[in-house]
Amino acid sequence: MKVIMSGNEACARGAFEASCHIASAYPGTPSTEILESFATYPEVYGEWAPNEKVAFEVAAGASIGGSRSLTAMKHVGLNVAADPLFTMAYEGVNGGFVVVTADDPGMHSSQNEQDNRLYAPHAKVCMVEPSNSQECLDYMKEAFRISEEYDTLVLFRLTTRVSHSKSIVEVGERVEKPVKNYEKNTKKYIMIPANSRPKHIEVEQRLNKLREESNKSSLNRMEFHGSTLGIITSGISYEYCKEVFGETVSYLKLGFTYPMPDKLIQEFSGKVDRLIIVEENEPFIENHVKTMGISCQGKDLIPICGELNPEIIRESILGDKPNITYNYSGKLPNRPPVLCAGCPHRGIFYEVAKHKDIIATGDIGCYTLGMMPPLNVTDTVICMGASISGGIGLSKARRLGGDYKKIFAFIGDSTFFHSGITGLINSIYNNEPIVTCILDNRTTGMTGHNENPGTGKTLMGKEAPVIPIENIVLSLGIKKENMRVIESYNLEKLREAIKEAKASEEPFVIVTKEPCALKKDVIRMRKGLKCHVNIEKCRKCKACLRTGCPALSFKKSTVAIDAAQCNGCEICKQVCPFSAIEKVV
């Protein structure tokens, strides 16, 4: 049967057909849909874990227990899971174990552009790279075979365009493989130094065997169309090259990209007059080819920054400028991302923005947008959880410098569960008087409304206990008088809490609670709740516009509210000094 699938959906299908039983992940673009799709199949178990390290370890434990297992994450997520990655490279597997890393060239939704292919040689594990949706399915099944045959986890590397592009996929049936027996084996599964030393020798021996596998693997293939120009490429870059050059050049298409197929590379390079390596981001393949003593071109032609496309490749290699067949003379407006109309995070950012003696450390999620004008609140964003721990260091450094501005750390509910708890523990343990603001919108918002430990549902839709954030905060040692739990739309309560937090000489926590305005049940619940502007009362002071709500505009010398966007949160109504904004009755 042939169906249209995205790369992520095809990965999930491939895992299902390969008899993967257990999968665990933390949502992160561009990998999110893999687990969402996997969880829809029968006879499997899929879960959202609090973070990528936990997800990796759940899947690793399942593998040791004899089940074929999978974990998936975006590229920066593998940084979080790097600790167990390097150890599992030594331990090996029982049931097949595939680790999906979805890289984001061009940084469409990421804070950096790291190339996770470099993890394969660093951790000394096998790596495969599909180029399209069909390969996502086929390579996934092959990855599980390789994992079990060679006693190794397999790094399965995607990029945004492979993950999200859709194409025709021929699907098959699930070939059921029973869960293997588990046998106690301390020399294999306990990595104390005495066991790790011989394991390292095994890892090196395994890599040599995998190199031979790579040389004969069907995932690597030559397409010979003449000796003038040869291109070595992998992943989505192969598809781009085929679009540019068709069958006018020869290709060595790599799908088994670590260990590199040295013999195949040597054979191919000897057949062509000129050799070019086409790859996104780091010169991963190019550096290896050059260490083999083979002359080639690569990053001297192809950009190292940003993602590639056919036009960039055509211009880089052929010198052909893009042929623009259309022309638009108008000026397009900038469309920066903003907090949505009715976003529950807007209130606390609006109130904190009034205080010029506050430094705000931000985190990864929708609330990162507190940096955008007119709010202009956030000062720093590093990575998941760093708002709190980074805020502690910033607070200490500024006090050493004689600057006693209060540090407010902003973090969301899912991110707090992910990696904020330990930062808050550090704040309490070391008595650093920062203010931690946990913005609970009852979902993992930016990656597509995924469930988390505070939502009451699992990935598979089952009822789950809600883990109350305020209970966690109190259990860590925050004094009850130093915590405020406030409805997100109540500006008066927020003002009071911010004032008290600034005055506190101890760690302080503010928890705001209101579900995301874009959740379907919230949209149904708030249907008909609107605000409008009473033109007769409006003094055109534009105070309401400082909330940054996209439903508000100032056109033709008047303030207007777009009823299609407004959800009646009443933030603007509370801000208006002339009571000109009214609730629609």
Alpha helix positions (H), 355-479 = 386-400, 413-415, 421-429, 469-476
Domains of the chain, start order: 2-216 (3.40.50.970), 221-318 (3.40.50.920), 346-523 (3.40.50.970), 526-583 (3.30.70.20)
pLDDT in tens, 258-300: 999 999 999 999 999 999 999 999 999 999 999 999 999 999 9
Q: How confident is the model at residue 332 (pLDDT cuts 50, 70, 90)?
A: confident
Q: CA 116 to CA 51: how far, in whole Å?
A: 18
DSSP state letters, 98-112: EEEEEE-TT-SS-S-
Question: Do residues 151 and 96 touch, judged by C-beta distance below 8 A?
Answer: no
Phi and psi angles of residue 535, each rounded to the nearest 5 degrees, phi first: -60, -35
Rounded to 5 degrees, what are φ and ψ at 356?
-85, 0
- The conformation of residue 444, written as its DSSP 8-state character, comes to B
Rounded to whole angstroms, the Cα distance separating 547 from 532 reads 15
Question: Residues, the chain, total?
Answer: 585
CA 573 to chain CA mean position, Å? 36
Predicted local confidence at residue 225, as pLDDT: 97
Nearest C-alpha neighbor of 264 from the set 235, 292, 298: 292
**Average pLDDT for 524-538:** 95
Looking at the predicted structure, is the pLDDT value of residue 324 above 90? Answer: no
pLDDT tens digits, residue range 364-409?
A: 999 999 999 999 999 999 999 999 999 999 999 999 999 999 999 9
What SS3 class is residue 97? strand
Q: What are the structure tokens assigned to 470, written together?
A: 């305020």
Q: What angle do CA 155, 202, 75 make, to 5 degrees?
A: 20
Q: Count the neighbouring beta carbons within 10 Å of the beta carbon of residue 362.
A: 24
pLDDT > 80? residue 172:
yes
8 Å CB contact between 548 and 374: yes
Cα 310 to the chain's mean position, in Å? 26
Q: Which tokens is 254 given?
A: 């790599």
Alpha-helix runs per DSSP H in 292-372: 310-318, 346-352
| pLDDT, mean of residues 540-569 | 95
**Residue 359 main-chain phi, psi, to 5 deg:** -105, 125
Residue 411: burial class (beta carbons within 10 Å; 0-12, 13-18, 19+)? buried
Q: What is the average per-residue pLDDT within 332-341?
A: 87
Return d(Cα 322, Cα 313) in angstroms, integer: 10
Query: Would you place residue 585 in the very low, low, confident or very high pLDDT band (cuts 50, 70, 90)?
Result: confident
pLDDT in tens, 186-245: 999 999 999 999 999 999 999 999 999 999 999 999 999 999 999 999 999 999 999 999
The helix/strand/coil state of 435 is strand
Mean pLDDT score of the chain:
97
In this predicted structure, the answer to whether residue 328 has a pLDDT above a threshold of 90 is: no
> What is the band of 325 on the pLDDT scale with cuts at 50, 70, 90?
confident
Q: How confident is the model at residue 487 (pLDDT cuts 50, 70, 90)?
A: very high
In this structure, what DSSP letter does residue 313 have? Answer: H
Q: Where are the alpha helices (DSSP H) in 272-366?
A: 284-291, 310-318, 346-352
Q: What is the mean pLDDT of residues 2-22?
A: 98
Q: Which of 498, 487, 499, 485 is nearest to 570 (CA)?
A: 487
* Tens digit of each residue's pLDDT (9 = 90 or more) over 83-128: 999 999 999 999 999 999 999 999 999 999 999 999 999 999 999 9
- Looking at residue 408, its pLDDT comes to 98
Cα-based distances in Å from 54 to 82, 83, 122? 11, 11, 21
Residues 583 and 570: beta-carbon distance below 8 Å: yes
CB 302 within 8 Å of CB 308: yes
Q: Which two tokens stand for residue 19?
A: 């008899």
Q: What is the pLDDT of residue 298?
A: 98
Look-up: residue for tokens 């009715």?
Answer: 342
Pair of tokens at residue 327: 């022309």
Supply 255's token pair. 């799908």
pLDDT at residue 424 in the model: 98
Tokens of 373: 């004008």
